[in-house]
Amino acid sequence: MSYANSVMTTQQKTALVAPKTISKNKTMNIALWILQVLSGVFFSFTGFGKIMCYRPDVWNHTLHQPVPWFSAVPQSLFVFIGVCEFLGGVGLILPAMTGIKPKLTPFAAIGLTLVMILAAIFHVARGEYSFFLPLNLVLGGVAAIIAYARLMAVHGRSARTACLQGWRFSGRWLSLDFFRSGTR
């Protein structure tokens, strides 16, 4: 052991390591924000387009598009999917950006993940494997990554800690640690 290492205090050693950790967290946060904004804008625009189909003339025009699944879904369900996508897209960006109820951002991402999982199941049932299924899986995966990362950020845990301590049996109920308010 060198003389410099033996003289340094723990606080000084931590100061040397801390900039690397801060840099990694900052890079991860920037990447996450990029994913959130791109996904939020995408879902907001596509959702708004579906919401506009509440008008009969727009719905009739939409039915003549070369997208086969439009005609397989009732108009009310199509508009409901649009509302879910629009609100989910806004929920990815607005709460975290404004700082008002930022805990809603991961739940918006969870909702979008659920919408994409259900869409993937729908396309598998219809045998549409070429374009729509991979798109739903990618968009759902991105939303799941955002949900997971923001849940960990809201509750102040690293991803590694969450993986190791994530699921825990609490009495008779299986619960997630990060949904509890007063953990440890």
- Please determine, for residue 72, whether its predicted confidence score (pLDDT) is greater than 80: yes
| pLDDT of the residue at 13 | 56
Average pLDDT, the chain: 80
Tell me the β-bridge partners of 168. Answer: 175
pLDDT score recorded for residue 153:
75
> Tokens 């990029």 label which residue?
34
What's the first-to-final CA gap in the chain, in angstroms? Answer: 37
Tokens of 13: 């050693």
Helix, strand, or coil here: 175? strand
- Note whether 112 and 39 are within 8 A (CB): yes
The structure tokens listed for 172 are 């008779």
Q: Quick one: pLDDT band at residue 68, thresholds 50, 70, 90?
A: confident
More confident residue, 176 or 83: 83
> Tell me, what's the pLDDT at 157?
61
pTM exceeds 0.75 for this model? no
Helix, strand or coil, per DSSP, at residue 155: coil
Tell me: the pLDDT tens digits for 153-169?
766 665 445 444 443 43
